[in-house]
Amino acid sequence: MPVDANAYLVADGTADGAIPLLYGTEVIEQLYEAQKLVGLGKDISRMFSGAGKTQQIPTDETHWAVSALTEGTETSISALSNSSKAITFVWYGDAKEWTIEAEAVVLPYVLEDMRMKAVKALGENRDNVIIAELANTTSTAIYPFVVTAGVITDVKETSLTVSETFQYEQLVSAETKMIESKLTMKSAVVPARFRMAMLKDARFISNENYNKDVMEKAQIKTSVGTNIILHNSLPTVTENSVSVGIGYALMEKPFFWVSKRAPAYELDRVNILKRSWTFHYYEAVGAKIVRDAGVIPLKAVLGNI
């Protein structure tokens, strides 16, 4: 049986310049983005260590309250209302292969670096899984406001134009909606161009407005108490013939996160006659929104760089 068509050969090492020369080599900086979002969720992996592909998460979305008590009168019993959310675990992974001949002549760093790249690939995929789950929220998206002569006059609906980029006020609106739902907004995951739009907004960066507590040396320090997280994997859609970016305002612990199978890294010869190594890495994970009201889409036109 021949080696796989994607196996790394001596010829590949030659073409990539990975065969060491007399003067040595330098370590190439890895330009991969690892996970940023898993820590925002509520990790309940310990609850799902047993068998099962799709499992139920019991939830109680009622707001508990108390009432005045009268001496000599029994305390009334209020109703409980529980529901559940189903979380499905999906397996993700990949494999690489290289020949014994390549192992002998290719720069060792190229082969040793594969595990680090595998870890980062799994991390990036975890974020993609979470972002896909955030998109399932039923909350209404918040669009930019109409600004006339520097003053906000109304809420813009879905008829966006090329000039309607992201605004600080969208974060304020999201925060207000969550307060009215008895939630607290903790973070906002947005495209990098959303932050760029705020930093270009004269109303945002002017000392006469509200940058005193949110800006520091041209960097966004705080914004309505919200941690702003930039992410490159957020989706874009076309609305009214313009490219629209989507971010998400998030409550504290906005999603459940489960690692059903911890990342596994396997290295094996598989078939010794092939004279090759196979590197296999994989894991099983799942994510589920806790409350729709705690995940609010933020939409705006992506500005030009």
- Listed by start position, the domains of the chain span 10-60+83-135+255-289, 145-254+292-301
- pLDDT tier, 28 (very low <50, low <70, confident <90, very high otherwise): very low
Query: What is the distance between the alpha carbons of residues 280 and 97, in angstroms, rounded to a whole number?
Result: 9
Q: How many CA atoms lie within 13 A of 220 on its CB side?
A: 21
* Extended beta strands in 3-129, E state: 42-43, 54-59, 83-88, 90-99
Which pTM was predicted?
A: 0.79
- pLDDT tier, 209 (very low <50, low <70, confident <90, very high otherwise): low
Secondary structure (3-state) at 204:
helix
Mean pLDDT, rounded, for 279-283: 90
pLDDT of residue 296: 96
- pLDDT tier, 32 (very low <50, low <70, confident <90, very high otherwise): very low
Tell me the per-residue pLDDT of 100-158, one tens digit each, with 9 for 90 and over.
888 888 867 677 777 778 888 888 899 999 999 999 999 999 998 877 666 666 666 55
pLDDT of residue 266: 87
Per the document, the length of the chain is: 305
pLDDT at position 84 over 80: no
CATH number attached to the domain at 10-60+83-135+255-289: 3.30.2400
